[in-house]
């Protein structure tokens, strides 16, 4: 399968901050995962093998006690060759690993196995913003190369 065009629009770019790309490894589990520092709390719902993928269910300003997300949202959307895969409906999560309350590693693939993605969502201690980093592969080849 040859893809002529790809667009990766990360919800995280708009809400969470910076995006840097690098690969990760992980192990499997299911449920809600909370990342938190002194300023921000982010809750992600991850549903391995169900096709419900990854969604953000909460973005909360801890200091002001304000919830910024009124309903669950996809973390990102990927489109290529006229197809669209949302992280909350078009991904199958292979594995997930929460490290403390500051880092979440996720490995997933699109429902038809067109793409494989390795994501790392990090919320550093203190008041720093969340970062989403990772890699995207199509047919085993790194789609974007080394960015960042």
- Over residues 49-72, the mean pLDDT reads 89
Q: Please state whether the predicted TM-score (pTM) of the whole model is above 0.75.
A: no
- Counting other chains too, the contacts that 108-115 makes at CB distance below 8 Å and 24 or more residues apart are 108/53, 108/54, 110/78, 110/85, 111/51, 111/85, 114/1, 114/3, 114/80, 114/83, 114/85, 114/138, 114/139, 115/78, 115/80, 115/85, 115/143
Q: Tell me the pLDDT tens digit for each residue of 111-148.
A: 888 889 999 999 998 887 899 998 888 877 776 554 44
Four-residue CA torsion sign, 3, 20, 47, 137: positive
Nearest to 118 by CA among 129, 130, 126, 106: 106
Q: Tell me the pLDDT tens digit for each residue of 67-99.
A: 999 999 999 988 888 889 999 988 999 889 999
Percent of the chain with pLDDT over 70: 73
Q: 120 vs 15, which has greater pLDDT?
A: 120
Q: Tell me the pLDDT tens digit for each residue of 23-47.
A: 233 334 568 999 999 999 999 999 8
- Per-residue pLDDT at 48: 76
Give the span between the Cα atoms of 87 and 84, in whole angstroms: 10
């Amino acid at each position: 399968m040859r893809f002529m065009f790809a667009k990766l629009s990360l919800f995280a770019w708009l809400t969470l901050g910076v995006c840097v790309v690098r690969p990760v490894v992980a192990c499997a589990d299911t449920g809600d995962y909370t990342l938190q520092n002194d300023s921000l709390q982010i809750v992600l719902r991850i549903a391995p093998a169900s096709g419900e993928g990854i969604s953000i269910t909460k973005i909360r300003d801890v200091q002001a006690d304000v919830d910024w997300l009124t309903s669950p949202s996809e973390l990102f959307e990927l489109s290529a060759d006229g197809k669209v895969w949302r992280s909350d409906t078009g991904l199958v999560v292979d594995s997930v690993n929460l490290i403390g309350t500051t880092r979440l590693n996720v490995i997933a693939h699109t429902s038809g196995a067109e793409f494989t993605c390795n994501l790392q969502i990090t919320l550093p201690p203190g008041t720093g913003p969340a970062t989403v980093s990772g890699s995207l592969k199509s047919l085993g080849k790194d789609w974007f190369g080394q960015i960042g």
